[in-house]
Amino acid sequence: MNFPIFSSAYHERPVGTDASLSLSVRRSYLDLILPKVLPKDLGLTIVPYFSDYVVLYNKEFTDGKGRLISIASTDGLKAVFPGDFSQSEAGTAEFNSYSYYGILGYERTKRLDGDWSLTTTPQVQFLKLKFELIDNKFKLRNWSTRIPVELTWRPNKDDKVYFGLDPRADEASVYVDAIQFNPDDPFFDPEEAPRIETSQNVTASKVAGWVSWEKKLGDFLLIPGLRGYYSDLIRQGSLDPRFSARWEFDAKHTAKFATGLYSKEPEPGEASKDFGNPDLNYARSRHLVAGVESRWSERWSSDLQAFWKNSYDLVRNDAEKNYANKGQLQSYGAEILVRRNLTERLFGWLSYTWSKNRERDSGSDPWHNSQYDQTHVANLAGNYKLTELWELGGRFNYHTGDTFTQKGNAVYNANLDKYQARQGDFEFYAKRLPNYNELSIFAGRDFLWDTWKMNARFGIEYLWFKRATMGVDYNYDFTKEKYVEGVPPIPYLEVQATL
């Protein structure tokens, strides 16, 4: 139990001589506690919540193994804001985002005659989404049936070939009673947007297939592959070639390289014939990654890599067709991970990422910073065992602030009796929120008894001199900015018992 953040339980036991059963559950509590303890003048705070369980049943067979999987999870966001953040007469607004996901499946790996093996994973998935903001509602219920099959052929120790097929069928019901939102326009005003109310039942199917070949050539490992798709939602197919390679050029260092084409089909709402565009195609991305993995000693290792991604035909809002494949996104950068491997007392790692992300809504528009561009991200984490019973640990994160589009040049709209922002000379996502840090620290102690043990850990999450800045809000005429902050420092007590 981690009070007040979450509680969890895990149990595992053998079943006979060739099987095992495990169960784990979790539940968070911040959404129940924060609204009761936050100051009245704190302002807007977004609080996440979650709960989940996992059941696994593993069994060994003479010709392979099997695993029964059952997973369910619930997560969402609640807005805690005692102040006035709405246009309603009561001066309040409700916001709730909720999702539930469940899966029941069985994975069976069977050795066939000769050098072949077969893995099948039939499964049923259920997804429920619910979103409410003031008087806007979105609800989705979706049942999915999948039967992934992968055939593996290993003719010798240097070759391994994979053949795969993943057919999927979906049945969904959708209810929408909301304005037609335009996420690509920072100056979008919901009071001027057209409203949609519709209820639909949708059936769709799609299939993916793939083939890849792992070829060992001395110190080289080469992996060419090809993945294909077909979706009846958009009545389109795609073929994505991919290639990766590894080269162990000495005992301590391995060079790596990967490139490929990746396709993503539109969301069902984007391809809807009623409020989307059924003529959409796949959004596509070309990826390129190169780097070096190093093992300097038994205790120290590192991973250095550079990356580049070019995305095109991204789905964007369109005045004539609702949506169109016209967006572009480019990302590039480098990252390094230095790891101090676990010993009797010390474990830790340091990572740093430098990246640039830019996008544009169409090929004729100028490039601008991406909405989620973060130039610098650094993470440091470590654990140190003081004695046989006591340990200390912590985690430090540094992030460049997110980008946002400045609002101003407000014009008074007499019909709506309010001010509306206009873009004017403001560039898209040209301003940036303040950089922010987060520090988490803890101290733990083990308690030992004859048949069981307990670990008690006390710590503080989100600890820093000021709270992280997560967004920006404006006054009524857009002449003053006010930052939206994250959650305050949260002390916790975590108790774990092992029987």
Q: pLDDT by residue (tens digit) across 167-199? A: 999 999 988 887 766 655 655 666 666 777 888
- The per-residue pLDDT for 216 is 97
Residue 106 resides in a domain: yes
Beta carbons within 10 angstroms of residue 131's beta carbon: 18
Residue 403 resides in a domain: no
- The per-residue pLDDT for 381 is 97
- Surface-to-core class of residue 468, CB atoms within 10 Å of its CB (0-12 exposed, 13-18 middle, 19+ buried): buried
- What domain range is 40 assigned to? 1-134
> Minimal CA–CA distance to 492: which of 453, 462, 447, 454?
462
Q: Give the C-alpha separation, 318 to 84, whole Å.
A: 33
What's the token pair of residue 383?
A: 């654990």
Q: What distances in angstroms separate CA 163 from CA 23, 238, 379, 406, 433, one per listed residue?
A: 33, 17, 39, 51, 47
Residue 84 resides in a domain: yes
Residue 356 resides in a domain: no
Residue 176 resides in a domain: no
What's the token pair of residue 353?
A: 């990422």
- The per-residue pLDDT for 398 is 95
Residue 120 resides in a domain: yes
- The per-residue pLDDT for 83 is 42
Q: Give the C-alpha separation, 379 to 374, whole Å.
A: 14
Q: How many helices (H) and strands (E) does the chain have?
A: 1, 31
- The per-residue pLDDT for 88 is 44
Number of structural domains (the chain) is 1
Q: What is the mean pLDDT of each run of 10 residues along the chain (499 residues)?
A: 73 91 88 67 66 94 94 81 44 72 96 92 95 83 96 95 97 84 61 75 93 97 97 94 97 97 90 85 97 95 98 91 93 97 90 96 90 93 93 95 86 83 77 92 92 90 85 86 85 85
Report if pTM > 0.95.
no
Residue 455 resides in a domain: no
Residue 411 resides in a domain: no
Q: What share of the chain is helix, strand, coil (3-state, %, to 5)?
A: 0, 65, 30
Give yes or no for a contact between 180 and 317, defined as CB atoms under 8 angstroms apart: no
Provide long-range contacts, Cβ within 8 A and 24+ apart, for 262-269: 262/286, 262/287, 263/229, 263/238, 265/206, 265/229, 265/231, 265/233, 265/234, 265/236, 266/233, 266/234, 266/315, 266/323, 267/315, 268/172, 268/174, 268/202, 268/204, 268/233, 269/174, 269/176
Beta carbons within 10 angstroms of residue 272's beta carbon: 21
